[in-house]
Structure 1
Amino acid sequence: MEFFDKVGKVALGSRLRLMTAIITDDAAKIYESYGMTFMPKWFPVFYTLMDEREITITEIANEIGHSQPSVSKIVQEMIAVGLVEESLKSNDKRRNIVGLTKQGWEFSKELKLQLQDVEAAVDSLITESKHNLWAALEEWEFLLEQKSLLKRVTEAKKKRESHDVQIVAFEPQYLDAFKSLNVEWISTYFEMEEADYKALDNPEEYILNKGGKIFVALYRNEPVGVCALIKMKDSNYDFEMAKMAVSPKAQGKNIGFLLGQAIVKSAKELGASTIYLESNTILKPAINLYYKLGFHRVYGLATPYKRCNIQMELKI
């Protein structure tokens, strides 16, 4: 169809819905051609009931992947035409069992013959086509279960928007941004502490003049993220990655990861073999970011921060 050729893969859902409508329309006509009064949407429920076992509406819904209200409605529709009955005798009186009526069982014999013809027709389609749609659907279902389309689109958005992000070295013009971004995120979750003020009020004296680095993330030339590499003394670690903060309005653009990469790269260039950091486990996105950068948890080091409950290291 010309529309799908023009729009492309972004119309995946629309194209699948159209194919579903075409097949569903044909399915209704197929039942009619066999002299059957049967709606295509009933098939998953009816087929499940052909197994001759005690089963409830909830169990049917779980088995076929439909909602309970949807299955309940279908069951009531089939009850109305005499194919299904409910409140059958059960070993467990608390369960409302549904099953096929005598008429339903007679109908199932005819349906099995029709299904043989449908399967033969689908096999012919598979044989005539270049790609096995049935196998592809199974593969797509598995892949989407591992990572949803929403998550894949979110990742693509991050990747695209990260192209507009620049990571630059600290300059005096970014002093206010370095402090305000950190104060904003610290105050959101914790309280500012003495060690924070030392670094944020005097970054040149506390960080840069002691052999450290500060990086600033610019999104469309606006400073929206910062992070520091602080030289450590009297420690087994060469540097500490600290004071990472990203503006809430710029989150979701991969900025934290880009800043972290810049920190690790700079540490390597300075000849470091280890980087250390402190954080808090309530900051789950940040902790996940550190693991993604290659950090691992360590224990037992002294810290000047009350909010610190996790320490991590990266061996370069």
Structure 2
Amino acid sequence: MDFFNKTGKAAIGSRLRMLTETIMEDAARIHQLYGSNLQPKWFPVYYVLTEGEAKTITAIAKEIGHSHPSVSKIIGEMKKAGLVAEKKDKADGRRNLVQLTKKGLEINETLQLQLIDVGNAIEAISAQATNDLWKAIAEWEYLLEQQSLISRVTALWKKREADKVKIVDYQPAYKTAFKALNEEWISRWFKMEAADYQSLDNPEGYILKKGGHIFVALYNDEPVGVCALIKMDDPDYDYEMAKMAVSPKAQGKSIGWLLGQAIIEKARSLGARNVFLGSNTVLKPAISLYEKLGFKKVADRPSPYERANIQMALDLV
């Protein structure tokens, strides 16, 4: 076990697999010892069929938590061993029902004794152990059902990646990146419009000199995301969050979230009552981001963009 002492908990999958393989090897020998000759992987299917009621493969899969193809394959193997048979459902001829054959039922009596002995052996191990593995497995199953291992690791990865991102103020050196990132994003989903070129070709005149701001996201000092806060000439809305674009190669690093937060904090520092934005419902991840930032759908109003079919706003006061 020196290897696992070196790797630590990161090798949990490998360690559990080794433990499972050890137990499954013993399980196969135990089945032989009691004369059942069941394969360990057949046991869940066999056990639910010992209740006597014929069941569909779908019902068996649902009960034991396996996939339909997995159970179908096991049923096929058990049929070859003469332990189960299939028949048409009298109530619904489209369904096949599976039940134990006479040979399959004969195993059950010996199996009940086997289960008692195996249960007692497991209890003896538990009594010798400091921790209750059975309860621990149940706890882990519950906790992983609430949040999977991949989602937990992904959250940590995103945080690590986000820590590498710096949000900085716009400088003339970022003008090319501001336009290129937006062109790349807009062209991927829609088409460039006149209003796009107006702000992207002249961000200083169209956005900055009119009281707006632009933020740039740097990842390893490379511009990979941009977003603008545009001063609006509107009695209802003070600023617009616009021109948010993130490079495809930088997706998944929470850059959109960081840019959005920077825009909101800037608007708040300027005494804004609210922030407005226009988007398109086909952009589900973007809409989800806006909602997480606190934006809510508002009534439609004239937009300079053909692609804008949803408008949202965030109240700051």
The 3-state SS of whatever aligns with 2:71 is helix
Query: Is the aligned partner of 1:300 residue 2:300?
Result: yes
Query: Is the aligned partner of 1:33 residue 2:62?
Result: no
How has the CA–CA distance of structure 1 residues 54 and 2 changed in structure 2, closer, same or farther, with 3 Å as cutoff? same
State the AA in 1 paired with 2:230. Answer: I
Q: List per-residue Cα deviations over 1:221-262 (Å, max 9, x = no partner).
A: 111110011112223222111110011121121111111111
Displacement of 1:88 after TM fit?
Answer: 6.7
C-alpha separation in 2, matches of 1:150 and 1:234: 45
C-alpha separation in 1, matches of 2:224 and 2:69: 47
How has the CA–CA distance of structure 1 residues 82 and 184 changed in structure 2, closer, same or farther, with 3 Å as cutoff? closer
State the AA in 1 paired with 2:246. Answer: V
Contact 2:48–2:60 (CA under 8 A) maintained in structure 1:
yes
State the AA in 1 paired with 2:8. Answer: G
How has the CA–CA distance of structure 1 residues 88 and 194 changed in structure 2, closer, same or farther, with 3 Å as cutoff? closer
Q: List per-residue Cα deviations over 1:57-82 (Å, max 9, x = no partner).
A: 33323332334443333334333443
Query: Is the aligned partner of 1:151 residue 2:151?
Result: yes
State the AA in 1 paired with 2:192. Answer: M
C-alpha separation in 1, matches of 2:5 and 2:207: 56
Match of residue 216 from structure 2: 216
The 3-state SS of whatever aligns with 2:312 is strand
Query: Is the aligned partner of 1:189 residue 2:186?
Result: no
Match of residue 237 from structure 2: 237
Match of residue 18 from structure 1: 18
C-alpha separation in 1, matches of 2:88 and 2:109: 22
- Range that drifts further, 215-224 or 137-146: 137-146
Contact 1:54–1:90 (CA under 8 A) maintained in structure 2:
no
Displacement of 1:159 after TM fit?
Answer: 1.7
The 3-state SS of whatever aligns with 1:244 is strand
Q: List per-residue Cα deviations over 1:260-301 (Å, max 9, x = no partner).
A: 111111112112231111111111111111111111111232
State the AA in 1 paired with 2:118. Answer: V
State the AA in 2 paired with 1:209. Answer: K
C-alpha separation in 2, matches of 1:176 and 1:76: 63
Match of residue 106 from structure 2: 106
C-alpha separation in 1, matches of 2:48 and 2:265: 58
State the AA in 2 paired with 1:82. Answer: G
Query: Tell me, which stretches of 5 or more residues in structure 2 are unaligned?
Result: none
C-alpha separation in 2, matches of 1:252 and 1:59: 39
Match of residue 75 from structure 1: 75
Contact 1:90–1:97 (CA under 8 A) maintained in structure 2:
no
Question: Normalized against structure 2, the TM-score is what?
Answer: 0.92
Give the count of matched residue pairs. Answer: 316
Contact 2:88–2:94 (CA under 8 A) maintained in structure 1:
no
Query: Tell me, which stretches of 5 or more residues in structure 1 are unaligned?
Result: none
- Range that drifts further, 108-117 or 43-52: 108-117
C-alpha separation in 2, matches of 1:127 and 1:50: 30
C-alpha separation in 1, matches of 2:8 and 2:186: 45
Question: Normalized against structure 1, the TM-score is what?
Answer: 0.92
Contact 1:210–1:231 (CA under 8 A) maintained in structure 2:
yes
Contact 2:275–2:315 (CA under 8 A) maintained in structure 1:
yes
C-alpha separation in 2, matches of 1:297 and 1:278: 10
Matches within 5 A, 1:250-265: 250-265=250-265
How has the CA–CA distance of structure 1 residues 91 and 195 changed in structure 2, closer, same or farther, with 3 Å as cutoff? closer
C-alpha root-mean-square deviation of aligned residues, in Å? 2.1
How has the CA–CA distance of structure 1 residues 87 and 298 changed in structure 2, closer, same or farther, with 3 Å as cutoff? same
Displacement of 1:102 after TM fit?
Answer: 2.3
Matches within 5 A, 1:39-188: 39-87=39-87, 90-188=90-188
Contact 2:300–2:310 (CA under 8 A) maintained in structure 1:
no
Displacement of 1:135 after TM fit?
Answer: 2.9
C-alpha separation in 2, matches of 1:103 and 1:261: 68
State the AA in 1 paired with 2:14. Answer: S
Match of residue 269 from structure 1: 269
How has the CA–CA distance of structure 1 residues 238 and 129 changed in structure 2, closer, same or farther, with 3 Å as cutoff? farther
- Range that drifts further, 127-136 or 198-207: 127-136
Contact 1:229–1:240 (CA under 8 A) maintained in structure 2:
yes
Contact 2:88–2:95 (CA under 8 A) maintained in structure 1:
no
Contact 1:87–1:97 (CA under 8 A) maintained in structure 2:
yes
Contact 2:34–2:111 (CA under 8 A) maintained in structure 1:
no
Displacement of 1:127 after TM fit?
Answer: 4.1
The 3-state SS of whatever aligns with 1:55 is coil
C-alpha separation in 2, matches of 1:207 and 1:194: 15
C-alpha separation in 2, matches of 1:80 and 1:173: 73
The 3-state SS of whatever aligns with 1:210 is coil
Displacement of 1:169 after TM fit?
Answer: 0.3
Query: Is the aligned partner of 1:314 residue 2:308?
Result: no
- Range that drifts further, 244-253 or 130-139: 130-139
State the AA in 1 paired with 2:271. Answer: G
